[in-house]
Structure 1
């Protein structure tokens, strides 16, 4: 199966959340040992919005997300120009004015084996 590409760019103000997976072993006297977990212990997750006309901008994004159902990864190029695989488990879509809507997205970096 071919991995599709999320072609829409988020509006200005997207937010990057970098997380490191670690193991922590706590010893007596306040000492601790930390180590990284796995070979890909760093993930970069993005959140942001896209605004526009419902029929031409928002509905195609919702259709794309429905096709992936939160579990199938897709390619997306972040604001830094890096293309990686992501999943999106849901979206919030408030109406702005008339037929002008905003979709709020959270992309979680996907690591495949």
Structure 2
């Protein structure tokens, strides 16, 4: 990935991410339960983010996301995490008046080949 593939903008305030573990389990008649990790990347993260600023600032972020078209992964470093690949399949924009906007987007961790 090139530097142009790195998301560098800072979210507005207190993003709250969700981590999800994929596990497989088998319940047996005796009450015994066996649980195991589902794959080598069994933890994935999702981050709903908010960005606020001038039209030019928000357009810069939006143009980056549009260039990835929802399926091209980019690198981003989530809070308390390490740099990883993410995709963004949807966004929302809200005009605040005075040439300012709010942009919302959800980043989902990506494990495929890019």
TM-score, structure 2 as length reference: 0.84
The count of residues paired between Structure 1 and Structure 2 equals 112
Bigger Cα displacement from structure 2, 86-95 vs 30-39: 30-39
1:1-113, aligned counterparts within 5 Å? 2=2, 4-28=5-29, 31-54=32-55, 56-80=56-80, 82-113=82-113
Q: Secondary structure at the match of 2:58?
A: helix
1:29: how far off? 6.3
Return the offset for 1:87. Answer: 0.5
Unaligned runs of 5+ in 2: none
Alpha-carbon deviations, 1:16-55, whole Å to 9, x = none? Answer: 100001123344466543221001101122112010011x
Q: Which runs of 5+ in 1 are unaligned?
A: none
* Secondary structure of the structure 1 residue equivalent to 2:17: strand
Aligned Cα root-mean-square deviation (Å): 2.0
Shift of 1:81: 5.8
- TM-score norm. by structure 1 comes to 0.85
Tell me the SS of whatever aligns to 2:41. Answer: coil
Deviation string 1:74-109 (CA, Å, 9 cap, x unpaired) is 011223362111111110111222321111111111
Instruction: For residue 89 of structure 1, give the secondary structure of its aligned residue in structure 2.
Output: coil
